[in-house]
Amino acid sequence: MSLSLSEKCFSEFVNLIYQLTGITIGSNRISLVEGRLRRRVLSLHYQSYEEYLEYVCTHKNEQVEFINLMTTNETYFFRTPRVWDYIEKIFLPQWILQHPDKKLTAWSAAASSGEEAHSLGVICQSFRDQNQKFNYQILGTDISTEMIELCQKGEYSGRSIEAFKKTRPEQFLKYMKSISNAQFQAHSDIRSRLKFQTHNLFSPLSSNEVFDLILIRNVLIYFKTSDQEKVLEVIQPKLAHDGLLVIGESESLSYIKSSFKSIEPLLYCHKQAEEMGSKAG
């Protein structure tokens, strides 16, 4: 059946995805929206995108599917190696000196299919193997229910693990086990310290937990500046006073209002923590 998305219907889908997720879609992305929704419209036996629009606007359950279809979930293990080297070689060794008896808590916000949370799990487990007193717990969240199911399954293959195998072959062998058909899963000691749940970055997180490390990478780019500021207001009270905030390689907080201060490109701390550190030093 030939389906085509009108400009008017496209802009209604764009408004809806914005209301549901904060994601802004450019006015030139009509074919992207058309392509992402086509199969769903056909599988529900609708004759037009307009009929589907009405359905999705009036059915909350369908909005979950709509969000799953409209989010961009690109990710892979150890994306942006510089950040992982910093966490492994600088952040964790300093953190354990200051918190010898505490369990490290980390939040991978906008975790997609979980590669980021699992990469952190590998680094933390490797650190734990060298420092018996070190322990950790990692929360991964995403707005997409489909992604959270993949996080919980935790099975990875192909491009997702390519860079991991090449750049960290020893850790790959030690911490990933082959399950079937080139599919790998992290060892159970890592998996037992990972938890995943759905969450919209514009809402407060349900738990009272405060995190020593928050990764919010490659998601702010989908939001307009004023919405990036709103998300950072949600994040701010969730980061421990001496915690580390990590953003994505094509993001910067330089031009937006926030209470975070850059330590190095992509790495931030609370402004107050930085001031206290420089007074002490």
Ligand X SMILES: C[S@@+](CC[C@H](N)C(=O)[O-])C[C@H]1O[C@@H](n2cnc3c(N)ncnc32)[C@H](O)[C@@H]1O
CB-CB neighbours of 239 under 10 Å: 24
Stretch of residues binding ligand X (CB under 6 A), selected from 19-27, 167-175, 178-186, 205-213: 19-27
Stretch of residues binding ligand X (CB under 6 A), selected from 28-36, 97-105, 165-173, 216-224: 216-224
Of residues 35 and 100, the one with the C-beta less far from ligand X: 35
How do strand 260-264 and strand 176-180 relate by DSSP bridges? unpaired
Q: Which of 126, 144, 171, 258 binds ligand X (CB under 6 A)?
A: 144
- Residue 211: which residues within 8 A CB-CB, separation 6 or more? 105, 106, 107, 139, 238, 239, 240, 243
Q: In 3-state terms, what secondary structure has residue 39?
A: helix
For the bound state, the minimum distance from the C-beta of residue 21 to ligand X, rounded and expressed in Å, comes to 4
Of residues 198 and 262, the one with the C-beta less far from ligand X: 198
The reply on whether position 17 binds ligand X by CB under 6 A is no
CB-CB neighbours of 108 under 10 Å: 30
Of residues 99 and 230, the one with the C-beta less far from ligand X: 230
Which residues of 116-273 form beta strands (DSSP E)?
A: 135-142, 176-180, 183-186, 194-198, 211-216, 239-247, 260-264, 267-270
The reply on whether position 270 binds ligand X by CB under 6 A is no
Of residues 135 and 252, the one with the C-beta less far from ligand X: 252
Q: Which of 63, 73, 207, 262 binds ligand X (CB under 6 A)?
A: 73
Q: Which of 48, 183, 200, 262 binds ligand X (CB under 6 A)?
A: 200
Q: Provide the mask over 229-268, with x wherever binding to ligand X is found by CB under 6 A and - wherever it is not.
A: -------------------x--------------------
Radius of gyration for the chain, computed over Cα atoms and rounded to the nearest angstrom: 20
DSSP per-residue codes, 231-277: HHHHHGGGEEEEEEEEE-TT--STTS--SEEEEETTEEEEHHHHHHH
- Candidates 125, 77, 128, 111; CA nearest to 214 is 111
Q: Provide the mask over 89-128, with x wherever binding to ligand X is found by CB under 6 A and - wherever it is not.
A: ---------------------x-x---x------------
Convert 57-116 into a string of H (helix), E (strand) and C (coil).
HHCHHHHHHHHHHHCCCCCCCCCCHHHHHHHHHHHHHHHHHHCCCCEEEEEEECCCCCHH
Of residues 228 and 273, the one with the C-beta less far from ligand X: 228
Task: Count the site residues for ligand X by CB under 6 A.
Answer: 24
The reply on whether position 137 binds ligand X by CB under 6 A is no
Q: In 3-state terms, what secondary structure has residue 171?
A: helix
Of residues 112 and 258, the one with the C-beta less far from ligand X: 112
Chain positions 159 to 198 lying near ligand X, rule: CB under 6 A, are none
Q: In 3-state terms, what secondary structure has residue 217?
A: coil
Q: What is the binding site for ligand X (CB under 6 A)? A: 21-23, 71-75, 79, 110, 112, 116, 142-144, 147, 200-202, 217-219, 222, 248
